[in-house]
């Protein structure tokens, strides 16, 4: 019996259950996930949510430098990535992304440094917080309005107290006059 060794054209790679799990987490996450190398201004990988969130195709994001989606805040972004590389983690809600439409997207980013295929990179999980920021601004305006109304009410109450003081003074004068007229000498 002769056994032939057949060499496949591509090496066969067996994917573990754990790797399948992590791929599915990456693919189906409700948050955008970016794998970036800030040292060379490159996006290495993104999940479908990142594409949906920013309006770019997968290919467009991978061919774009990081600075293209953080163009308005590139120095702040680079400071954040430097901090992540130094400390081993980072979180911020101070950065915005530039969408394909030209709109900006307020985000919260949680990031960690990793080594993938011998390359230092950052894995960043990005949440769209635009609606939360709008709600916070609306709440702040409502609080300012309440404070304004409270000040006006305090002024009205102060006037009312003054008027009550005057009215009570009239009652006091009337009482004194009544008593004085009743005094017999």
Residues near 66 by Cβ (< 8 Å), separated by ≥ 6? 36, 38, 41, 42, 43, 77
Report yes or no on 11 lying in a domain. Answer: no
Q: How many CA atoms lie within 13 A of 54 on its CB side?
A: 29
- Per the structure, the complete domain to which residue 139 belongs is given by 130-185
Looking at residue 109, which CATH number applies to its domain?
A: 3.30.450.20
Asked whether 69 and 97 are in contact (CB, 8 A), the reply is: yes
> Do 108 and 165 fall within a single domain?
no
pLDDT of residue 39: 87
Last residue of a domain, one of 128, 150, 176: 128
Report yes or no on 116 lying in a domain. Answer: yes
State the maximum Cα–Cα separation within the chain, in Å, rounded to a whole number. 149
> Do 101 and 31 fall within a single domain?
yes
pLDDT of residue 169: 66
Sign of the CA dihedral running 86, 92, 96, 99: positive
How big is the chain by its Cα radius of gyration, in Å? 34
> Do 121 and 138 fall within a single domain?
no
Last residue of a domain, one of 128, 144, 167: 128
Which DSSP category does 80 fall into?
H
Determine the Cα–Cα distance for residues 103 and 30; give it in Å rounded to an integer. Answer: 21
Token digits for 74? 């590139």
> Do 62 and 144 fall within a single domain?
no
> Do 101 and 151 fall within a single domain?
no
Report yes or no on 13 lying in a domain. Answer: no
Report yes or no on 147 lying in a domain. Answer: yes
> Do 120 and 134 fall within a single domain?
no
> Do 119 and 63 fall within a single domain?
yes
Last residue of a domain, one of 102, 128, 154: 128
Report yes or no on 39 lying in a domain. Answer: yes
pLDDT per 10-residue tile (average), the chain, 185 residues: 50 75 91 93 95 96 91 84 87 84 91 88 92 86 83 74 65 73 68
> Do 140 and 156 fall within a single domain?
yes
pLDDT of residue 168: 67
> Do 48 and 105 fall within a single domain?
yes
Number of domains in the chain: 2
Report yes or no on 8 lying in a domain. Answer: no
Residues near 62 by Cβ (< 8 Å), separated by ≥ 6? 43, 44, 45, 46
Determine the Cα–Cα distance for residues 99 and 114; give it in Å rounded to an integer. Answer: 26
Determine the Cα–Cα distance for residues 156 and 144; give it in Å rounded to an integer. Answer: 19
Report yes or no on 9 lying in a domain. Answer: no
């Amino acid at each position: 019996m002769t056994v032939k060794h057949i060499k496949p054209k591509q090496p066969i790679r067996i994917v573990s259950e754990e790797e399948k799990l992590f791929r599915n987490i990456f693919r189906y996450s409700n948050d955008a996930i970016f794998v970036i190398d800030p040292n060379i201004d490159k996006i290495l990988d993104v999940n479908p949510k990142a594409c949906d969130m920013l309006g770019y195709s997968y290919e467009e994001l991978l061919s774009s430098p990081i600075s293209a989606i953080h163009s308005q805040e590139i120095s702040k972004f680079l400071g954040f990535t430097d901090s992540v590389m130094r400390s081993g983690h980072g979180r911020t809600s101070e950065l915005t992304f530039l969408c394909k439409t030209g709109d900006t997207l307020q985000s919260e980013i949680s990031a960690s440094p990793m080594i993938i295929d011998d390359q230092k990179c950052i894995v960043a999980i990005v949440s769209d917080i635009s609606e939360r920021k709008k709600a916070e601004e609306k709440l702040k305006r409502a609080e300012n309005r309440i404070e304004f109304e409270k000040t006006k009410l305090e002024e009205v109450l102060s006037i009312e107290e003054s008027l009550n003081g005057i009215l009570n003074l009239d009652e006091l004068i009337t009482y004194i006059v009544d008593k004085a007229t009743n005094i017999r000498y």
